[in-house]
Amino acid sequence: MDTLTHIALGACLGETFAGKKLGKKALLWGALAQSIPDIDFIAATWSSTAENLLAHRGFTHSFLFALLITPLLALAAERWHRPHNIPLKKWILFFGAQVLIHLLLDGMNVYGAGWFEPFSHHRVSYNWIFVADPFFSVWLGIAFAALLILGRRDRRRHWWNRFGLIMSTVYLLYCGLNKIKIDQEVNRIFEQQQIRPTGYFTTPTPLNNWLWYVVASTDSGYLIGYRSLYDKKATIDFHLVPRNDSLLRPVQDHEDLQKLIRFSKGYYAVQNRNDTLVFNDLRFGEQIGWRNAGAPFVFYYYLQHPDDNKMLVQRGRFAGWDRAAFSSLVKRIQGE
């Protein structure tokens, strides 16, 4: 999830844990605990772009890291607030729950999280929710704002805190049900259209959980399409994207390329754009692809010009967005 959502969620959980005893300091501890796995951003200061892709949400998003950091945070908080009547065991449960919830949420979107690092490099990503979904975050943001404004002894704090946590949890479960429904529909469509993929995935399109991006791997490349929960027709209009592995021969031994292939989980396509080899990670979607089939991919890496790959994940995420693009998203969500 995005940083602001983690902060708001952590603060709400901090209020639940010790709001009455610590006041607004509980919000601060909650926000810190929920954000601590994202200290991996520091690695970007010395690592290459390709290395940083694997470092982000790597070890600091693992169960081992959770086991190591939880007692350290608990000891620091317990000593900081002496004298108090909060046992160390309760501090450990609080910080452990915060870090584990962060790991769980980051495993819900396409970037994934390295839960089993350093023993396994497999990234868990079960694609329930887009990395920044306002319909999940808004409730937590409202609750967080209320907790900041209301006084420590104001009885309304409890109501607003519960409101934020319950509403966001209900929406998250709703997203899980949507994922199940979409996967069932996509598999039926594969059978009807006589598509036998060697693998596939579905993931939400930006800022919503109703229009889903579908990628199916085949021997000839990748079939890419979109499916709304409100689509009436029992087909998906796929377009084919060739993998073009043969274009990689001049750079096949480059270390960055091997890291990119590992990061993409094998869902990649290579293009020759303006005499430059471009590596596309298909998992992050196309730029407004529901409107323009075959649009450029959000994630693209210049293999022969690595210094031109700053802000790699973010630079294409909302490229070309304007009022017309947003309107087309809303219209496509409404179904075909």
Scan for tokens 């390295």, then name that residue: 114
Per residue in 223-261, pLDDT tens?
999 999 999 999 999 999 999 988 988 888 788 899 999
Tell me, what's the pLDDT at 124? 95
User: What single string gives the DSSP state of each residue in 198-225?
Assistant: SEEEEEEPTT-SSEEEEEEEETTEEEEE
Contacts of 9 by beta carbon, 8 Å cutoff, 6+ apart = 1, 34, 101, 105, 140, 168
Contacts of 200 by beta carbon, 8 Å cutoff, 6+ apart = 186, 190, 214, 215, 216, 217
Inter-axis angle of helices 134-149 and 156-192, to 10 degrees?
170
- In this predicted structure, the answer to whether residue 14 has a pLDDT above a threshold of 90 is yes
Question: What's the burial of 183, exposed, middle or buried (CB within 10 Å: 0-12/13-18/19+)?
Answer: middle
The full set of domain ranges for the chain reads: 3-176, 177-228, 241-333
300/269 Cα distance (integer angstroms): 10
Arithmetic mean of pLDDT over the chain: 92
Scan for tokens 């610590």, then name that residue: 22
Contacts of 312 by beta carbon, 8 Å cutoff, 6+ apart = 49, 53, 299, 301
Per residue in 257-296, pLDDT tens?
999 999 999 999 999 887 788 999 999 999 999 998 889 9
- In this predicted structure, the answer to whether residue 119 has a pLDDT above a threshold of 90 is yes
CA quadruple 139, 141, 143, 145: dihedral, nearest 10: -150
Amino acid (one-letter) located at 254: H
Quickly state the pLDDT bin for 312 (edges 50, 70, 90): low
312/322 Cα distance (integer angstroms): 21
Tell me, what's the pLDDT at 42? 85
Q: How many residues does the chain have?
A: 336
- In this predicted structure, the answer to whether residue 189 has a pLDDT above a threshold of 70 is yes
Amino acid (one-letter) located at 204: P
The answer to whether 236 touches 163, Cβ cutoff 8 Å, is no
Quickly state the pLDDT bin for 22 (edges 50, 70, 90): confident
Contacts of 333 by beta carbon, 8 Å cutoff, 6+ apart = 208, 210, 211, 228, 230
127/106 Cα distance (integer angstroms): 10
- In this predicted structure, the answer to whether residue 152 has a pLDDT above a threshold of 80 is yes
Identify the DSSP state of 4: H
Q: Give bridge partners of residue 201 from the DSSP assignment.
A: 215
